[in-house]
Structure 1
Amino acid sequence: MKYLIVGLGNIGPEYLLTRHNIGFMVVDKLAASFEVKFSMERLAYHTEIKYKGKQIHLIKPTTYMNLSGKAVNYWMKELKVEQENILVVTDDIALPYAKLRLKTKGSHGGHNGLRNIEEVLGSQQFNRLRFGVGDDFAKGRQAEYVLGNFTGSEIDQLPEHLERACEMVTCFCTQGVNMTMNKYNQ
């Protein structure tokens, strides 16, 4: 059974610890915990994990956030992964900091990466792990906020929240989406 885990973010050192890059951070943490390294491949950094009989492919699109769908579509077809075995890890301003929520479908909610994936796939029917980054920004400052760095206290707490997100990803791959939602969604 193959799975495609897509961490959303932007490439480049200036985006490294921004809220918008939480998807990259989650897949980086997962890759590190399995001691695998990413390599630059077509449209994404890619690596693979074998875990409990599952092939788990991790990608970090190099297309920048607003064109993430191009990479998702390519890798889904290249690896022959069914749409129900895709999990997109993304930031979400509608959730408080570090709140994690797994969903099987839904609207993009104004998130340009999710919007592009929906457009390219022609569907909202893909799993997404939403990582809350809060909404502590003034009206009209959303882009500045998500492209800004986490605060010092948020950074201090980040490792434990990334660990929980990784647990959710491996649970999704081994026990299924419904079991994972029942176990982790609060």
Structure 2
Amino acid sequence: MTRFLIIGLGNPGINYNNTRHNIGFFILNKISKIYNILFKKEKFGYISKLKYNNKYILLLKPTTYMNNSGKSVLFWMKKKNILLENIIVISDDIYLKFGSVRIRKKGGSGGHNGLKSIEKEIKTSNYTRFKFGIGNNLEKFNNCNYVLENWKKEEIDFLNLKYNKIVKIIFSFIKNRLEDTINLFEKY
């Protein structure tokens, strides 16, 4: 059975639950609700498992904090023998307009410390990433504070309206592979 690893980046702990930087955790929590599965704390992460389209899927919320996410990703890739082409990393992106998404097969970290850590640990930037725009207001320009601020009510309302489509995009990657997914959802 083909194995996939879906990584939602974020920071563990109640203080970070509703922050912009935790969009990866938010999306994985929505997936767990849709499929009625629970996360269990294990080494370097909260883990949940499911089968979809005759594929084994491991959901991972790293507990190593954003700046050390790569440690968790590498551990679970090795432990579950998951190929690089079968991982997708969900993260926030301050350079994308709020609510927009970008799916890429490879690329740089864009200054994102979680992505930097993953690239350092797995020794490549050639992995699939799903970036969700958090729309940094460049007048604020203190990125650290901005990404660690709580979502505004209207942002949460928007996310709750769009999460089904976001989940469909992620599961399209598992079912249809990356190129077909990009073609299907290019106009998100």
TM beyond 0.5? yes
TM-score band w.r.t. shorter chain: over 0.9
* CA distance in 1: counterparts of 2:105 and 2:70, whole angstroms: 17
The aligned residue for residue 131 of structure 2 is: 130
* CA distance in 1: counterparts of 2:108 and 2:145, whole angstroms: 22
| Superposition RMSD in Å | 1.0
The aligned residue for residue 9 of structure 1 is: 10
1:16-27 aligned within 5 A: 16-27=17-28
The aligned residue for residue 58 of structure 2 is: 57
* CA distance in 2: counterparts of 1:146 and 1:23, whole angstroms: 13
> For structure 2, which runs of at least 5 residues remain unmatched after alignment?
none
Q: How many residues end up aligned between the 2 structures? A: 186
The aligned residue for residue 147 of structure 1 is: 148
User: Residues 9 and 22 of structure 1 are in contact (CA less than 8 Å); yes or no, is this contact kept in structure 2?
Assistant: yes
Quote how far apart the aligned CAs of 1:136 are.
1.2
User: Residues 50 and 57 of structure 2 are in contact (CA less than 8 Å); yes or no, is this contact kept in structure 1?
Assistant: yes
The aligned residue for residue 103 of structure 1 is: 104
**What TM-score does the superposition give when structure 1 sets the normalisation length?**
0.97
* CA distance in 2: counterparts of 1:159 and 1:49, whole angstroms: 22
* CA distance in 1: counterparts of 2:38 and 2:111, whole angstroms: 32
* CA distance in 1: counterparts of 2:43 and 2:151, whole angstroms: 30
The aligned residue for residue 41 of structure 2 is: 40
User: Residues 20 and 90 of structure 1 are in contact (CA less than 8 Å); yes or no, is this contact kept in structure 2?
Assistant: yes
Quote how far apart the aligned CAs of 1:185 are.
2.1
Deviates more, 1:50-59 or 1:151-160: 151-160
The C-alpha deviation readout for 1:129-177, integer Å capped at 9, x for no partner, is 0001001143541100000011111111111222221111111001111
User: Residues 137 and 145 of structure 1 are in contact (CA less than 8 Å); yes or no, is this contact kept in structure 2?
Assistant: no
The aligned residue for residue 73 of structure 2 is: 72
* CA distance in 2: counterparts of 1:142 and 1:66, whole angstroms: 15
Structure 1 runs (4+) greater than 6 angstroms displaced? none
The aligned residue for residue 31 of structure 1 is: 32
* CA distance in 2: counterparts of 1:45 and 1:89, whole angstroms: 15
**What TM-score does the superposition give when structure 2 sets the normalisation length?**
0.96
User: Residues 25 and 162 of structure 1 are in contact (CA less than 8 Å); yes or no, is this contact kept in structure 2?
Assistant: no
Deviates more, 1:75-84 or 1:147-156: 147-156
Change in CA separation of 1:140 and 1:95 when aligned onto 2, cut-off 3 Å? closer
Identity %: 39
